[in-house]
A and B are shown apart, each in its own frame.
Chain A
Amino acid sequence: MKNNYDILVIGGGPAGALAAKTAADAGNSVCLIEKRPAIGTPVRCAEGIGKELLKEFIKPDPRWIAADIERARIISPNGTAISLEQDKAGNEVGYVLDRKIFDRELVWQAAEAGADVIVKTRATAPIMENGAVRGAKVLSVGTPADIRAEVVIAADGTEAQFARRAGLDTVVPLREMMSCAQYLMTDIDIDAGSTDFYLGNEIAPEGYLWVFPKGDRTANVGIGISGRKSRDGSRAKDYLDRFVAKNFPNGKTIEAIAGGVPVCRPLACTVADGLMVAGDAARVVDPITGGGIGNAMLTGRLAAQVASECIAAGNCSKEALMPYDAGWRASKMGTILERNYKVKEYFVTLDDAKLNTLAESIAQSSLKEFSVLALIKELITRNPKMLLELKALRDTLS
């Protein structure tokens, strides 16, 4: 194993893969380590992504696209459905990916660009010198080693332990951790062109339940609930089992997974001396949708771009790396994250009766655009009598 690189990337998900590819393309020596023995498994994701966002990073390929989505439905506690149709809205909806193959493709592209890839290799601690990260202590298939680097890009997902051990606070408050469970089910009756989101405190307290198609009779059926609502007898798995027993009693589960989605604000700062944090580890998951793939690729790529410039200039201090932090915050993604965080904080206060009222108010609307923003605007327009009620929501727009 080589022990010295320009850039060490920790984690082989979309953030790490884009970071490694971008860094290698820019001519750096790059090493990507993944603690699991295989890239892409186990999946811990609902696998949905917006088409436009995806296309910013990679050309869609049928090998890893499980379903092409034409509409989304949001179903309120009493069954009122808000339907968003691709042909009515001005923009495209999304894809449901096959992450096992998608993630491999991304890492393959990083390898193709020249990055070294090492699996079953876990970073146990940062190598710290004078307060700066200078690489990582790793356990590679049981053998300890030091890998030194000018910059470490921590893309280690929900756990985010690398940045934590370098001194950043990455702990997710219990109430802002979405506790998730998902079954990949087959032989079920679904609308294969629609991603369905079920809301309600009986169904998924402070979260939602999703049915994301992956074929005509196959779908990811999953749920995320707030950690503070999770306890014995009412955990994510319990809610999911109840939904499945009622709606898909004869379906077959061919994969059962769990996961944690952080819906807190992003890390207070995503850089330190010699360190950058990207993807879920940076807490850049959309707090409303729980979507993290696109933001992971965006932050991974940007981190590597800034790192490359800093390495070329011979300065990888926190200050020098700061344009990465400032860059994503100032981007469209940064703005959406901040707004959707506030929107989420409003929605978690709603009881089922309110959710029903709001859903009924816009069930007949045909939205011009397919976005959280368009939904909020419509809610405000359609509910003039709830001006005070919706003030918190309106404030998120300013």
Chain B
Amino acid sequence: MSTMLRINRDKCGYCGTCVAVCPEDALELIDAYLSLERECIACGICARACPLGALEVVHEE
């Protein structure tokens, strides 16, 4: 089973809040979209901070 971060681009308001709390510097706000650019440890901190609920740590079989 693996865990990963899912970005819901339809919900995201590209505000950068998640970027600033990520301990791994994994996220990048590029222009008008958010992108997972580097290694993510699926800690879920960014998903907590998101004002709009656009991030989710999902578990996959």
Contacts and interface: CB of A to CB of B under 8 A. Distances in A.
Contacts of B15: 44, 158, 180, 257-260
Contact of B50 (A160, A173, A179, A262): A179
Nearest to B15: A258
A136 to B, nearest CB: 15
B30 interface: yes
Nearest to A173: B21
A195 interface: no
A256 B51 CA distance: 12
Given A37-B31, A122-B30, A171 B48 contact: no
A377 interface: no
Nearest to B12: A258
Interface string A247-263: 00000000011111010
Interface residues of A, number: 37
Contacts, number: 98
Interface in B8-60: 13-23, 25, 28-32, 45, 48-53
Contacts of B29: 35, 159
A237 B29 CA distance: 20
Contacts of B23: 171
B43 to A, nearest CB: 10
Interface of A: 35-37, 42, 44, 120, 122, 157-161, 164-165, 170-174, 177, 179-181, 227-228, 230-232, 235-237, 256-260, 262
26 contacts: A42-B32, A122-B30, A158-B16, A159-B16, A159-B19, A161-B25, A171-B20, A173-B21, A174-B49, A177-B17, A177-B49, A179-B50, A180-B15, A181-B52, A227-B48, A227-B49, A228-B48, A235-B53, A236-B51, A258-B51, A258-B52, A259-B15, A259-B16, A259-B17, A260-B18, A260-B51
